[in-house]
Amino acid sequence: MEFFIDTANLEHIEETLKKGFVSGVTTNPSLMSKEPKSDFIKHIDKITEICEEYDNVPLSVEVFAEKPAEMYSQALEIYDALEYENLNIKIPVGYEELEVVSKLHKEDIDVNVTCCFTEAQMELAALAGARYVSLFYNRLLDYGGNPLKVLTNVRNNFDKNNINSEIIVGSIRKERDIVQSWAAGGHIVTAGYNLFPGILEHPMTDYSVKGFLSDFKDWLV
């Protein structure tokens, strides 16, 4: 059971890694576009510098090429440019794209296969050599699918067949999504920074702490 942050924001990455409950970082082109315009490699390199300070946590970086052959070339360029020991190249799932996954795996480059919505996508990606397979929880729910059923089925098949790929659950919108994803078999949940403070808040927590302190102050002389 692990928690990653899904962002390309340097401050948010460092802030959450400091808290101790975040153990990895995922990014994508859309998240990159929300940051001030910069050189792609230079920005990711700044992220790796932060990650190195926190035990070289896993970092997933997505290619932005559209054709499989270009994805492969770009993946190699990113991998060589960053020289980060726990880098995972994100490749979108697809029939032709799985050849890219396989080639990278054979070159000892870890791959996170993303944009998964079905058991078949995740399981075939794992067979192709993916270290991670990423399910889009709420996007699947919006489409009318059942992400919890998909998670349970895939995790059962992975465990039954000794498949080492790990399931990352993304597209998280609520605290409930996190808890249910872990319960259904997700190894890792990745969520945006906006969720983080709220999931640790509860009115009864504040009420209880104030009550303890009030009782203690009354006891002190």
Which of the residues are catalytic?
A: 90
Burial of 128 (0-12, 13-18, 19+ CB in 10 A): buried
d(CA 188, CA 178): 9
Closest residue by Cα to residue 8 from 19, 30, 127: 30
H-only helix segments in the chain = 10-19, 29-33, 40-52, 68-82, 97-106, 119-128, 137-142, 147-160, 175-184, 203-219
Neighbours of 175 (CB within 10 A): 14
d(CA 60, CA 86): 9
φ/ψ region of 215 (left if φ > 0, alpha if ψ in -120 to 50, else beta) reads alpha
Neighbours of 1 (CB within 10 A): 10
Contact 113, 95 (CB under 8 A): no
d(CA 109, CA 123): 19
